[in-house]
């Protein structure tokens, strides 16, 4: 019996995090490349109206057990669409939520799969157990970093971050600004900002803050008020304005993974603060700069010449996953 939707998409969507909205946009674009129209996709979201407006898909309240179960009953597959959602550094219950909804989807007859995932950090033994259990039930898994691949015992296919596959319309602009991004990280963000501000390299340059969530805005405004960081402008990045923001960047220094991903897409020399293994893995993979306590001028991405091939491989990997799941 056919179901209304081919894919029920699940991630940290509608929760105010720009990186996760980029992931949702990337997955929807990849599905369209594979012939799955948005009218055949549904999404679990923390903000149903916003997700429907931004992404153009039917959305359901992620916190409603009834809506989640009904959406799963009406969907052929359940897709974890990228991101580091199985982690307990920001919330102990996050792995439990995703484990639970994956089990609900399976009980409702969905084929469960996952793409572009990072697993961890997982500081509690029980959370490591349920993460391994969750991914063992997936019909197909792709992972975006070596730490996650090792954690799952080599299970799954390695791929690059899905946001790299987003269509990118180049905008002509004066590339003369320094783009900076900071996120809360237990004090590491202030040490990094102090190091950046103390460097003579940043003096006399226009500094543009790029927030990837509202908490980044709050943090960077506070650091500016404390005179820890000088900002000439501050933008809250989203899927609509990112191209114009990054078109202004000549160099960059930041923390969020997808800040680095967008810098790589736009070939902006960048130094990343490795607050999380997924960030250090990304910097190593692409030959970007990594902050080690002392600030050096951002350097070009040494391996950016591999980008086009990596994008095509990621697209093919996604298509292969969809084909396998649909044919199980």
Q: How many CB atoms lie within 10 A of CB 182?
A: 29
Quick one: pLDDT at residue 307? Answer: 96
Domain for residue 170, yes or no? no
On whether both 284 and 149 belong to a single domain, the answer is no
β-pairing, 249-254 vs 233-236, is unpaired
Final residue of a structural domain among 129, 159, 189: 159
CA distance 286 to 189: 22
Quick one: pLDDT at residue 90? Answer: 83
On whether both 72 and 143 belong to a single domain, the answer is yes
On whether both 144 and 185 belong to a single domain, the answer is no
On whether both 203 and 103 belong to a single domain, the answer is no
| 294 three-class SS | coil
Q: Which residues of 88-105 are buried (b: 16+ CB within 10 A; e: fewer)?
A: beeeeebbebbbebbebb
Final residue of a structural domain among 125, 159, 193: 159
CA distance 71 to 60: 7
On whether both 147 and 50 belong to a single domain, the answer is yes
Residue 187 belongs to domain with CATH number: 3.40.50
φ and ψ at 37, to 5 degrees? -70, 155
Quick one: pLDDT at residue 173? Answer: 60
What is the side-by-side strand order in the sheet with 58-61?
A: 58-61, 41-45, 5-10, 75-86, 111-119, 141-143, 157-158
| 64 three-class SS | coil
Quick one: pLDDT at residue 171? Answer: 66
On whether both 122 and 182 belong to a single domain, the answer is no
275: tokens are 């607050």
Per-residue pLDDT of the chain (328 residues; tens, 9 = 90+): 589 999 999 999 999 999 999 999 999 999 999 999 999 999 999 999 999 999 999 999 999 999 999 999 999 999 999 899 999 988 899 999 999 999 999 999 999 999 999 999 999 999 999 999 999 989 999 999 888 999 999 999 999 999 999 988 776 666 789 999 999 999 999 999 999 999 888 788 899 999 999 999 999 999 999 999 999 999 999 999 999 999 999 999 999 999 999 999 999 999 999 998 889 999 999 999 999 998 888 999 999 999 999 999 999 999 999 999 998 6
CA distance 228 to 80: 38
Identify the helix (H) or strand (E) that includes residue 178. Answer: strand 177-180
Residue 72 belongs to domain with CATH number: 3.40.50.2000
Full domain range(s) for residue 68: 5-159
Is residue 197 within 8 Å of residue 189, measured between CB atoms?
Answer: no
């Amino acid at each position: 019996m056919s179901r209304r939707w081919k894919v029920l998409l699940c991630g940290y969507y509608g929760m105010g995090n720009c990186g996760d909205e980029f992931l949702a946009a990337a997955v929807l674009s990849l599905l369209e490349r594979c012939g799955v129209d948005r009218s055949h996709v549904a999404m679990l979201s923390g903000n149903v109206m916003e997700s429907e407006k931004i992404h153009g898909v039917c959305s359901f309240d992620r916190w409603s057990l009834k809506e989640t179960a009904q959406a799963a009953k009406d969907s052929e597959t359940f897709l974890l669409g990228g991101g580091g959602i199985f982690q307990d550094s920001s919330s102990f219950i996050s792995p439990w939520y995703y484990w639970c909804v994956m089990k609900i989807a399976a009980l409702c007859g969905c084929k469960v799969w996952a793409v572009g995932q990072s697993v961890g950090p997982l500081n509690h033994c029980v959370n490591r157990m349920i993460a391994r259990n969750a991914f063992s039930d997936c019909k197909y898994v792709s992972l975006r970093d070596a730490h996650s691949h090792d954690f799952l015992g080599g299970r799954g296919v390695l791929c690059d971050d899905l946001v790299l596959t987003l269509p990118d319309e180049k905008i002509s602009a004066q590339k003369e600004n320094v783009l900076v991004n900071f996120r809360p990280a237990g004090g590491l963000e202030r040490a990094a900002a102090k190091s950046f501000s103390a460097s003579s390299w940043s003096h006399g340059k226009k500094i543009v803050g790029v927030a990837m969530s509202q908490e980044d805005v709050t943090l960077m405004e506070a650091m500016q008020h404390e005179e820890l960081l000088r900002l000439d402008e501050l933008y809250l990045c989203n899927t609509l304005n990112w191209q114009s923001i990054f078109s202004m960047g000549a160099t960059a220094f930041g923390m969020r993974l997808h800040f680095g991903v967008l810098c790589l897409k736009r070939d902006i020399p960048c130094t990343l603060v490795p607050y999380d293994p997924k960030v250090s893995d990304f910097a190593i993979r692409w030959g970007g700069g990594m902050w080690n306590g002392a600030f050096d001028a951002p350097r070009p991405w040494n391996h950016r010449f591999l980008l086009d091939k990596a994008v095509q491989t990621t697209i093919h990997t996604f298509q292969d996953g969809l084909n396998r799941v649909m044919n199980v």
